[in-house]
Amino acid sequence: MIRYRIADSMEDMGYRAADMAAEQIADKPDGVLGLATGSTPLPLYEELTRRSDAGEVDFSGVRTVNLDEYVGLPGDHPQSYRYFMQVHLFDHIPIDPANTALPDGMAEDLADECRAYDALIEAWGGIDLQVLGIGHNGHIGFNEPGSVFTLKTHVVDIARRTRIANARFFRGDPERVPGQAVTMGIGNIMAARKIVLLVSGRSKAEILERALCGDVNPLVPASVLQLHPDVTVIADQQAAACIEIPEAAMI
Ligand code: PGA
């Protein structure tokens, strides 16, 4: 059963998600966190930074793997996901840079890069806690509608709707958004031991309801989460507006 926590605010969402990450780190100090970019996890990274500063969370042994990266953007490009993670988390916590992995979108041989990324996740023992957001079309990572549920890390063409959504970071021009990304596949995500899905805002309410209460269907990639044994959804009231959450599923 999927568990739900309704957050009062973005700050509260970050706090609750940080509780899960902190608990994971306390249980397994060298465990693997699966991380995501986007606006929704930002309060989580702020809160983790605060807790690290306060000595409440120790990142010295933690390893992280991110969901995805744009093809063709180097790590020092301000819109690359590597850059995002540096600016919003890694630069502020005492984590070993060698323990922070993202796919390399500049790799000459992208198929090789995908295989190497899967091998790294495997060598690190798999993902203990995966943080996810959801796109308006139901994507998770860059697994767009129609994605095969069993795929591991692979190269994808980014859906038009996603390029339009992300254009805000590329001077408002969807054409400037890279056309491809390297993404963990749904196979990698589903192999994570625990998943926390963060969702905010009224604009996500319908897709969240379809994903969590509708049929499991590759046309709504996040619907696969219904098949995972340990998913916690942290959503604000607006994002959860279309879901009737059974009392027993609330935490
Ligand atoms: P957002 O992105 O957190 O910026 O809404 C979520 C996603 O597209 O996965």
Task: Judge whether residue 224 has pLDDT over 90.
Answer: yes
Any residues with Cβ below 6 Å from ligand 1, and which?
38-40, 133-135
Work out the pLDDT band at 159, boundaries 50, 70, 90.
Answer: confident
Q: CA distances (Å), 244 to each of 47, 109, 172, 197, 209, in order?
A: 29, 46, 36, 17, 9
The residues annotated as belonging to the active site are 68, 137, 139, 144
- State the amino acid at position 154 in one-letter form: H
- Locate 200 and state its tokens: 């905010």
Q: Domain 2-249: give its CATH code.
A: 3.40.50.1360
SS3 209: helix
Position 72 confidence tier, pLDDT thresholds 50, 70, 90? very high
User: pLDDT tens, 5-21?
Assistant: 999 999 999 999 999 99
- Above 90 in pLDDT, residue 54? yes
Residue nearest to atom 1 of ligand 1 (CA): 38
> Ligand 1 centre and the CA of 135: distance in Å?
5
Alpha helices in 54-109 (DSSP H): 81-88
The structural domains of the chain, with segments of one domain joined by +, span: 2-249
- The mean pLDDT value for 79-90 works out to 98
CA of 200 to the centre of ligand 1 (A): 9
- Say how many Å lie between the CA of residue 39 and the centre of ligand 1: 6
